[in-house]
Amino acid sequence: MHKKEKFWKNSLWILWTFTIVFYWVAFFYIGIRARHRRWIWWGVIYSIPFVLLMVFSPDSTIGNYLTNLAIGAWIASIIHGFAVRREYLVRMKVREELLQQEEELLRRKILGVDGENLLSKVPSTSPFASSDASSAPERAASPFSDRHAPGETALVDLNRASEEQIASLPGINLIMAKRAVSLRDARGGFDSLEDFSHALGLKPHIKERIRPMVTVGPKAEDSRPSGSEREGGFGRIVDY
């Protein structure tokens, strides 16, 4: 789909804010689609005057007050809608990209676990038979596929693993994996699983769930030779 078409498709919700009766529906819609609770709560707040108007008579004093409040909420929702539109579009774009990455990760897992068996079922006349069959051993020999192969017990080293490997752990998505790698690069590595869990803010049950699946190797700084080791052996190494 063209970018402009996606832009307008993801912006049609703002038309709800121009309806004086159902303006609050727009915030329920974007809150649910973007999975953003704050917008859902705004939808609840904007709907309160409308709901109360259904209880009290518009001719009563309270009804007149609620009518003015509903009109004010309607105008505020229009302004609010245009204010959050850009953030909503960014959130939806990120969600689409994450969905594509998850689909690619799932495809790699399927091919990595049983790539040769899957490709053996491809007819010889298929255009994918020759190219994919030749690349099957490489995929099967990759570190990514090895730790998912049946019977394998390879652990994920939190100080060496890639973003995709960390994201494959239960309870950890790609965004959290990117943050973990960023923190690891900034700090030089993690001291333990507890240090990793605290840095990402993992819940205790997630930490215990991934404990048998991970290991914590030496930090990058710990693997560097000491000053005395650099000076010994084959001569002194000068660091620039």
Per-residue pLDDT of 58-102, as tens digits, reads 778 888 888 888 899 999 999 998 999 888 888 888 888 888 888
Phi and psi at residue 7, to the nearest 5°: -60, -50
Q: Count CB-CB contacts under 10 A for residue 17.
A: 24
Query: What average pLDDT does the structure give for the chain?
Result: 76
Mean pLDDT on 141-145: 42
Q: Is the pLDDT of residue 4 over 90?
A: no
Asked which of 164-168, 178-182, 183-187, 232-236 is least confident by mean pLDDT, the reply is 232-236
Give per-residue pLDDT as tens, 195-225. Answer: 998 888 898 888 899 999 999 989 876 544 4
Q: Is the pLDDT of residue 185 over 70?
A: yes
Q: Count CB-CB contacts under 10 A for residue 29.
A: 18
Output the six-digit token pair for 104.
């690619």
Query: What is the amino acid identity at position 157?
Result: D
Q: Count CB-CB contacts under 10 A for residue 76.
A: 15
Q: Is the pLDDT of residue 132 over 60?
A: no
| pLDDT, position 5 | 53
pTM for the full predicted model: 0.42
Q: In which element (H, E) is residue 156 found?
A: strand 156-157
What percentage of residues in the chain have a pLDDT greater than 90? 22
Rounded-to-integer distance, Cα 142 and Cα 159, Å: 19
| pLDDT, position 7 | 57
Those residues with Cβ within 8 angstroms of residue 156's Cβ, 6 or more apart along the chain or in another chain: 147, 165, 166, 168, 169, 213, 214, 215
Those residues with Cβ within 8 angstroms of residue 15's Cβ, 6 or more apart along the chain or in another chain: none
At residue 67's C-alpha, the angle toward residues 64 and 69, to 5°, is: 110
| pLDDT, position 210 | 92
Alpha helix segments (H runs only) across the chain? 3-9, 25-34, 37-53, 61-120, 127-141, 143-146, 163-167, 174-187, 193-200, 204-210, 227-231
User: CA torsion 41→46→50→52, rounded to 10°?
Assistant: 60
Q: What is the CATH number of domain 155-221?
A: 1.10.150.320
Task: Answer for the pair 118, 109: CB distance below 8 angstroms, yes or no.
Answer: no
Parts of the chain belonging to CATH 1.10.150.320: 155-221
| pLDDT, position 62 | 85
Mean pLDDT on 182-204: 90
Asked which of 54-63, 103-112, 126-135 is least confident by mean pLDDT, the reply is 126-135
